[in-house]
Structure 1
């Protein structure tokens, strides 16, 4: 028995030292090299500080709408809905989101609505929408703010983030950055 207990205790001590000390220090050091020093990316605008990498609710017709969140944009507890595509409750939620979107965006056909405007992401905190999701909202925002659709489309184009190294991912738009830029348009 002593033959098994002593190595187990040694392994436990080594793991505690490594994972509670060395590993933690290494991750903290790497975080200090990142933008925001491991605290997340923030933007300050008009005296307010916003977290760029966490989705936020925008429901006014004057703004681009974010991707829906299964956790009400609560960064303390991210998560998806965990409901499958054949779940009746999930389908009712999607149908309600589609109906709401169509009511606020007259002239848009059901088939034109990108899926990211009616489905939540896996984390429920995705700060991005697709370029198509932004473009389908241009007419509503131009009408609400008395701008031309071309001016809003140019704003969408200038806020489009390209794939990493031109290879990884798709073009996307950070909704917070786009809406802050929209507020600066005069």
Structure 2
């Protein structure tokens, strides 16, 4: 019985420290030092309405928009509650059929030649908000035609959103699809 009291006190103390004080300090520091990131990197419209997060992809299928890489999440595309890849093998006939259908859809929308893998294959999380510069470049003509804009104007908007390798060597160059589409709507609404 004499071991029960110190054990309960230690449980209470550690619960307060680890379950209350530590999370409060970390949350407070995050809000102070990185408020945008701590609140989900949300993007807002001019009227203050939240339109998305720069960290989670969104489905775009209208020809006037830059299209993202496909999502592998269940229930609906880019579902953050169902994050995860398809776990399909590239050797699977079903997976090959899905990729072939995606290539056919891109070809029927005027995208010809070599197609970047990220336009037909989902990311590991199924939520990736970025595409490669190559995947964006093959979409420029379609977007310009759908918006009645020049190819140069659309290419310049996309180029303005090029994110380089982190610290100069981590990751790959990428373009945030939602950020580009917001700027396309501002520059050439149609």
TM-score tier after normalising by the smaller chain length: 0.7 to 0.9
Q: What is the TM-score normalised by the length of structure 1?
A: 0.84
Match of 2:27 in 1: 28
Give me the CA root mean square deviation.
Answer: 2.4
Match of 2:38 in 1: 38
Match of 1:98 in 2: 103
Matches of 2:37 and 2:55 in 1, distance apart? 14
Match of 2:80 in 1: 75
SS at match of 2:95: helix
Matched, 1:135 2:140: no
Q: Which contiguous aligned blocks of 4+ residues in structure 1 show a shift greater than 6 angstroms?
A: 5-14
Matches of 1:65 and 1:98 in 2, distance apart? 13
Match of 2:146 in 1: 144
Matches of 2:90 and 2:9 in 1, distance apart? 49
Unaligned runs of 5+ in 2: none
Matches of 1:87 and 1:22 in 2, distance apart? 50
**1:66-85, CA deviations, whole angstroms, 9 ceiling, x for partnerless residues?**
11111111122211111122
Matches of 1:118 and 1:46 in 2, distance apart? 33
Q: What is the TM-score normalised by the length of structure 2?
A: 0.83
Are the structure 2 counterparts of residues 163 and 12 from structure 1 closer, same or farther at C-alpha, using a change threshold of 3 Å? Answer: same
Deviation at 1:18, TM superposition (A): 4.9
Unaligned runs of 5+ in 1: none
Deviation at 1:87, TM superposition (A): 1.9
